[in-house]
Amino acid sequence: MTGDALDFTLETLGLADAGVRDRLMGLYRTLDCFPEVPDVLRRLKDAGFATAILSNGSPRMLSAAVASSGLAANLEHVLSVDAVRTYKPSPLVYALAPQALGIPAGDLLFVSSNAWDVAGAKSFGFQVAWCNRADAPAERLGAEPDLVVRSLADLPR
């Protein structure tokens, strides 16, 4: 899906160049995580919390991103929508986390920087934190986060 979106954007901008596309897709697979993320995940795992990624990304893309960011040691699960063949905000996707972790949705904290994802996760039944790094205004999606933070380091201990 990311490749299709990139193709559409490049074509729309008149930049349909295979070299540019390949370079951008390669960069997308090696994105750095925000600086506080490794330490926060390590502290959560050390404290006995389950840690996971639940993403609309493909397993191959997620594997590359986790490897390039160095997060693998502190993630117990990397969950992809490929398992249910649909995308967030489908409840089928959010159901992957409680199933994989063996923890009821209401006992899980779902953290996202995407307001639409926050609304979907909250509607599913998760406790939700919105990582609003840009101090964006709240969207009107009908489901409010339980907590708003500017950085994962701001999550309560």
Extents of the domains making up the chain? 1-30, 33-154
Hey, what amino acid is at 117?
Answer: D
Q: How many helices (H) and strands (E) does the chain have?
A: 7, 5
**Before 89, cis peptide (omega within 30)?**
yes
Candidate from 2-11, 98-107, 144-153 with smallest mean pLDDT: 2-11
Domain boundaries 33-154, corresponding CATH code: 3.40.50.1000
Q: Is the pTM of this model over 0.85?
A: yes
The Cα–Cα gap between 42 and 14 comes to: 44
| Residue of higher predicted confidence among 18 and 60 | 60
pLDDT digits (tens, 9 = 90+) for 52-81: 999 999 999 899 999 999 999 999 999 999
| Residue of higher predicted confidence among 3 and 10 | 10
Q: Which helix (H) or strand (E) holds 123?
A: helix 115-124
**What was the pLDDT predicted at 3?**
81
